[in-house]
Structures are given as structure tokens and as C-alpha cells.
Amino acid sequence: MPVQVRPIDLPAPETLARTLGTRLPAFQDIAWTESTGSTNADLLARARSGASGGKPWLLGTHLQETGRGRAGRPWQNRAGSTLMFSCAFDVHLPAAQLPALSPLAGVAACEALRGVAGFDAGGLCMKWPNDVQWHDAKLAGVLVETTRNPGGREAGYTVVIGMGVNLIGAADLSLALGREVADWTQVQANSAHAATAADLVCASATAWHEAVQALERDGFGAFQQRFDRVDALAGRKVNVLDKGAILLSGTACGVDAQGRLLVQTPEGATPILVGEISIRRQA
């Protein structure tokens, strides 16, 4: 029988920030707050202001008051129920390659959480473009945003990757939202290792840092096989939706070298761009 798992405790913000500082030496600035509007928005504003100091940066919070999901949808949480943090990185990529950052961030996050989960980590998978799932239930949402750095084209971009991981409350959330939601206690139910908040943050932040550097060096094509290993939609019937309207239906068959989802239809494989498009498995 599954063991009873003790939920992850969130230390005081200053304590968590100190712990992360010792474990993430590559990060130039690490902060954790009691509450803020949006960690993504805070880091984007800092990047746009031309703030001095090298990146990467990390900002986390116990309570996010005006969080946003994909397509700008509002997202809220209760203090202690969700682990929320964002990282900012400098990238030097052509604008046409920036959309690949979204599935890249999802792949890296899923791999990182698998590494922390250990036993039965294969139940962690990724629904394109970047939702991390526990089997078919959403465990974590990832939001990727970019802004051009002050100083012109040569200065490149800042990419901000934010994630919220459900720690507790899956049953209540599932009931309130009318769909399956997972939390970390379910992931850890059969694991002998009790993860800490710092474990989850450090694994994800490090994975994103390494993935962004690999994307600059090798392109997204180097991640296609890694995507296949975490792909929650592979071989499944899907509807491609835009603002609630079905654009096309077919079978999900991985991603191309630009990170676009490929949907097989009678007319052939159609690439789907990251944007205000969501994927729903057909009944």
C-alpha cells in the first residue's frame, strides 16, 4: 500500500534563499519573498530596466497574487500549497528560435523532477508545450516569456522561465476545476526519499540553465529524443484548440527540430506553433 507522505514544508523565505544560494553557485542573484504579484513579471521588469549584475537570476515566493498561465490566463494559489519560482537567463538566439524555449523548458523541468522523484519517476511526463503531469493529471505549469535586453540586437534577450508545482491539495483542486490535478505527495507516495523545496528548485533551475546553453549551442534538434522520452501525448488522439474552437484533430507524433508539435492528419503531419493553442485528448 502507498505510504502516507508528509507534505513538503516551505521554510521561511530568507532561510530558503540562503539554502539555494549555497547550492546554486552559478546564479548571480537569488531571492525569495513572502508574497509578490508575479515572479515572472518581477524578473521581466528588472531585465527591461537594464539592472546591473549578471544573470542567471532566481526569484521565488510563498504567495503569488497576480500570477498568469499561458495565454495570459489568471492563476492563483494558497500560501504553502504551491512551490513558485522563476529564473532569468541571457540568451543570444535569432527571434525565430525563441518559441523553442517553451517546450525546452518543459522537457528540462520534467527531467529534473524525475531526478528528484527517483522511484516510479516514469509517471512524470510532459504535455506539450510544457505542462508537467503525473500520469494524466497536471502537476506543474511552466510559463516562458522573453524580452529584448536594453542595448540593441547584440545584447540578446532575457528569457524568464517560471513554474508552479502543486505541493498539496490535489483532491480539492480537481473538484474545483473539474479536471484531474496532481500534487507532489502523490509523486512521492512510493519513494523512500523525502524531497525538500530546495531539492525541487535546485534541480529545475540547474536543468533550465543547462538546457538554455545547449539550445544556443546545438539547437532544439538535440532535444527531440529527450522530448520523446517524456512525451505525454505520443500516439494519442488530440484536438488542437484555439480559444475553444477546434482547428484540427489527429494523432500526436512528437516534435520537429523547431519544437513544434506534430499532429498527423490524413493530409500529413501538421506542425503546431507554441502560442494560444492548447491540446486536449479526444474522448
Q: Where are the domains of the chain?
A: 13-230, 237-281
Task: Say if domain 13-230 classifies as CATH 3.40.50.720.
Answer: no
Q: Where are the alpha helices (DSSP H) in 71-169?
A: 101-117
Closest CA to 68 of 165, 130, 132, 144: 144
What is the share, in percent, of the chain residues with pLDDT greater than 70? 89
Average pLDDT over residues 143-159: 90
Residue 274 has pLDDT above 60, yes or no: no
C-alpha cell at 32: 525569495
pLDDT per position as a tens digit, 188-216: 887 767 899 999 999 999 999 999 999 99
**Residues near 196 by Cβ (< 8 Å), separated by ≥ 6?**
8, 9
CATH number of 237-281: 2.30.30.100
Convert the pLDDT of each residue in 153-170 to its tens digit.
778 999 999 999 999 988
> Which amino acid, one-letter code, is at 128?
W
Q: Residue 43: how many CB atoms within 10 A of its CB?
A: 27
Annotate 17-81 with three-state secondary structure. HHHHHHHCCCCCEEEEECCECCHHHHHHHHHHCCCCCCCCEEEEECCECCEECHHHCEECCCCCC
C-alpha cell at 275: 502560442
Task: Give residue 51's Cα distance to chain centre.
Answer: 25
Q: Give Cβ neighbours of residue 202 (< 8 Å, ≥ 6 apart).
A: 20, 23, 24
Prior bond of 129 cis (ω within 30°): yes
Whether the model pTM is above 0.85: yes
pLDDT digit string, tens, across residues 219-256: 999 999 999 999 999 999 998 888 778 888 999 999 99
